[in-house]
Chains A and B, each alone.
Chain A
Amino acid sequence: MTDSQARPPAGEQSALLKAAQSGDQQAFGQLVEPYRRALTIHSYRMLGSPHDAEDIVQETLLRAWRNLASYEPRAPLSSWLYRIATNASLDEIERRPRRPQPVEPYPDTPLADADAPTHDPAARYALREGLELGLLTAIQQLPGRQRAVLILRDVLGWTSPEVADLLETSVAAVNSTLQRARATIDERLPPAGPVPAAEDERELLHRYVQAFTNDDVDGLVALLREDAVLRMPPQPAVIGADAIARFFRWAAPGETFANFHHTPTRANGRPAVAIYTRSATGELIPHGVSVLVIEGGQIVGIEAFVDPALPARFAGAAR
């Protein structure tokens, strides 16, 4: 374990352990508290969700308490706790393999900075500005292996030898699969239209924020395509520009848009807003994050995630 929290000296730790093993819950609390943060980070790494990580740490400590008698002090306590946390995480993953998970939005910045594997400037299709919907759809129609080869080579920027290694095949086979996949994509994609410029997206995002600030219902409706969809799992979707505007008006404190305060940011590779609500006393209360899906200069989708913990995570993700 590489964390550096102050931990009780060895003598004190073994006294706490002895007390805990004979049923002293408070001693157990003191014994494990220094490991809590490291266990949370570990569980987060395993599950990819801060929310689940907290639950797993609770579960880990519960299991540790129940099985404390079986702990042999020859092994470091940290290793023992990590093992329990790992098993608890894997149990959690196994428990829910087929239940669709509401996906938490992720800020762009950490993902973009998270090592090289995601993205290569040499990739054929630009990734950061969001793949065009047409391309995404075309990719989905490719047969499995062609899909894998095209994504790895042309979107993620892997080399052919790397892809060959992954698929346990030859470089020549990868290249010929790639040619076929590219030909299919080129056929299905409409001639490269202007890629939605980042500038236009920023402008649209700005007008979205303004529409709320000015309590401008018509202004908001004008930014939305007529058949735009607001998704807010687990609630049913709201469909249509007018319906979305009405919904926001209804959901806003005091039924005025202006009580939604938005900070522009980016999430999931798209323009997004961190949402705060304004209380009667003018205080800003974190509310959630909305991701905007833009097509042809209009907002066609809003993916809303209501979770007061989110806005803080998106601070500074704006680019």
Chain B
Amino acid sequence: MTTNRDPGWIDEDRGLLAAARRGDEHAFGRLIEHHRGGLELYCELMLGCPARAHQAVHETLLRGWRELDRVDPHAPARIWLYRLATGVCLEDPDRTD
């Protein structure tokens, strides 16, 4: 972990993920809020297009919500969300690779 990763939000993420898995939508929303800016940026860099990045983040969110019950509650939520986003971006039909 690099220095700017304050363990505070990692712990908070863990709590939010656990709560979201228990069906707490509010917690899921807060978890998403933590990462939305980063995910938008990541998808924009991956896709080279802000509009498609926005859609990709929505798709990521949707997948995340659907597979909440299958996610490892001890794994960092951030890596899980970026993994989903990577999958979404690599499947983007407007790209050839």
* B 8-48 to A, binary, CB cutoff 8 A, 1 in contact else 0: 01000000000000000110111011111110111001101
Pairwise interchain contact A147-B46, C-beta atoms closer than 8 A: yes
CA separation between A118 and B36, bound complex, in Å?
9
Q: Is the pair A159, B86 in contact by a Cβ cutoff of 8 Å?
A: no
Quote the shortest CB–CB distance from A318 to chain B (angstroms). 19
In the bound complex, do residue B34 and residue A114 qualify as a contact, i.e. CB atoms below 8 Å apart? yes
Q: Is A278 an interface residue (CB 8 A)?
A: no
Which of B4, B6, B41, B61 is A120 in contact with, Cβ under 8 Å?
A: B4
Interface 1/0 per residue, A109-133 and B, CB below 8 Å: 0110011111111100001000100
Could you tell me which residues of chain A, from 92 to 149, have a CB within 8 Å of some CB in chain B?
93-94, 97-98, 100-103, 106, 110-111, 114-122, 127, 131, 136-137, 139-140, 143-145, 147-148
A136, B65: Cα distance in complex, Å: 31
**Residues on B with beta carbons closer than 8 Å to the beta carbon of A103:** 50-51, 53-54
In the complex, how many angstroms separate the beta carbon of A131 from the nearest chain B beta carbon?
8
Contact A114 B52 (CB under 8 A): no
A268-B59 Cα distance, complex, nearest whole Å: 21
Q: B45–A155 contact, CB under 8 A?
A: yes
User: Which residues of the other chain, A, contact B75 by a CB distance below 8 angstroms?
Assistant: 165
B79 touches A165 (CB 8 A): yes
CB-CB nearest in chain A for B51 = A100
Contact with B along A34-52 (1 / 0, CB 8 A): 0000000110011110000
**Judging by beta carbons under 8 Å apart, are B45 and A139 in contact?**
yes
Q: How far is the CA of A94 from the CA of B42 in the complex (A)?
A: 21
The residue that B79 contacts in the complex, of A45, A114, A145, A166, with Cβ under 8 A, is A166
A48 pairs with B54, CB closer than 8 A:
yes
Residues of the A chain whose Cβ atoms lie less than 8 Å from the Cβ of B37: 106, 110-111, 114-115, 117-118
Q: Are A46 and B82 interface neighbours, CB within 8 A? A: no
The answer to whether A83 and B4 touch (CB under 8 A), given A140-B48, A151-B45, A162-B79, is: no
- Chain B residues within 8 Å of A293, by CB: none
Q: Is the interface of B mostly helix, strand, loop or mixed?
A: helix
Interface residues on A, range: 35 or more
Partner of A86, one of B25, B42, B57, B59: B25
Across the interface, B25 reaches (CB within 8 A) one of A82, A116, A139, A162, namely A82
The yes or no answer to A152 lying at the interface (CB within 8 A) is: yes
Q: Which residue of A lies closest to B86 (CB)?
A: A148
Question: Which of B51, B58, B83, B95 is the most central at the interface, judged by chain A CB atoms within 10 Å of its CB?
Answer: B58
Hey, which chain A residues are within 8 Å of B62, CB to CB? 90, 93-94
Determine if A122 and B50 form an interchain contact, defined as CB atoms under 8 angstroms apart. no
List the interface of chain B (C-beta within 8 A of A): 1-2, 4-6, 9, 25-26, 28-30, 32-38, 40-42, 45-46, 48, 50-55, 57-59, 61-62, 65, 75-76, 78-79, 82-83, 86, 89-90, 95, 97
16 contacts between A and B (CB under 8 A): A45-B33, A48-B54, A101-B54, A102-B51, A103-B50, A103-B53, A106-B37, A114-B34, A115-B38, A117-B37, A139-B45, A139-B48, A144-B97, A152-B42, A165-B79, A166-B82
The 4 A-B residue pairs with the shortest CB-CB distance in the complex, in nearest-first order? A45-B29, A117-B38, A86-B25, A118-B38
Apart from A1-B26, A86-B28, A131-B45, what are 16 other A-B pairs with CB-CB below 8 Å? A2-B26, A45-B29, A47-B58, A48-B36, A82-B26, A98-B55, A115-B9, A116-B4, A116-B6, A117-B37, A136-B48, A143-B97, A147-B45, A151-B42, A151-B45, A155-B45
